[in-house]
Structure 1
């Protein structure tokens, strides 16, 4: 029996995607808590965060064969928290920021967070941006592993809502 290839699509989220996006985010919040992490345990992200992403055209959903399986925010504006870093960024060129990467619980362990980063690189290049920055909690082992695997460089620490976060950058060729 011939299986048709998986069709991945990263697209800008719409307001009618908000319910499934919030479900995906809630699952990720619970997973972080079960992992013993402090990340996302302070009321962020919340439904308002997601609605702002959508309204600002920063929210993206990853679809497999038209089913929404993951979410991220891809932001083409400077992140104010990145202005002060203990360490240093690799460049001072325009960059895209990746925030709020979350995969639906039914799709865990299938490399979808990695796929989001790979497709984000394509989105950045299409927009003629050759630099991606991201931060994560010190205890987010899955994300740290992904960033290492994809060639992101650890640049130092940035601070969000009073907490230090590991900051990474990748220059696209």
Structure 2
């Protein structure tokens, strides 16, 4: 990717839903091909994305105005996180990262890592200093990003019918 590409991070709009759903379906298939059980049981689905957008949870990273990455950011609300086999680093306000999906058109360009930088900037701008996230044990790509971005493994949570590895990063 050249420096000429203009990257933006913004809230998703309902007009983005079809493109986002296509990206989510690509990610579901990619996880299946990789042998992951994550996202193989009908979640997330089109209604999940519509709900994200209507609740202002949905965000997109665009490259030259084309949607490249989708993510849901949820402030202070993940019931599954109230019970953790382990311990969170903080107990205050937090943002949860859910449903990270990269378009096949942009795969392998480092945009998921860039997304995490932009999320940190956004969360700081909202005066929140904790980001929490979970992922499947077999989601090697996400586990690598969380490690590279300095997230701390905190334990296990039970979410979407399975045990997930839970991580937190405290923003200074």
**TM-score, normalisation: structure 2:** 0.97
Q: Write the deviation string for residues 39-97 of structure 1: whole angstroms up to 9, x where unpaired.
A: 00000000000000000000001101111111000111321000000000001110000
1:58 alignment partner in structure 2: 57
CA shift for structure 1 position 4 = 5.3
Partner Cα distance (2:111, 2:130) in 1: 21
Partner Cα distance (1:162, 1:97) in 2: 18
Task: Show structure 1 runs of 5+ residues with no match.
Answer: none
**Cα root mean square deviation, aligned:** 0.9
Partner Cα distance (2:4, 2:16) in 1: 24
In the alignment, is residue 75 of structure 1 matched against residue 74 of structure 2? yes
1:89 alignment partner in structure 2: 88
2:122 alignment partner in structure 1: 123
Matched ranges for 1:1-173 at <5 A: 5-173=4-172
Which stretches of structure 1, 4 residues or longer, exceed 4 Å deviation after superposition? none
Partner Cα distance (2:24, 2:70) in 1: 8
Partner Cα distance (2:167, 2:76) in 1: 16
Partner Cα distance (2:160, 2:17) in 1: 24
Task: Show structure 2 runs of 5+ residues with no match.
Answer: none
Partner Cα distance (2:9, 2:67) in 1: 9
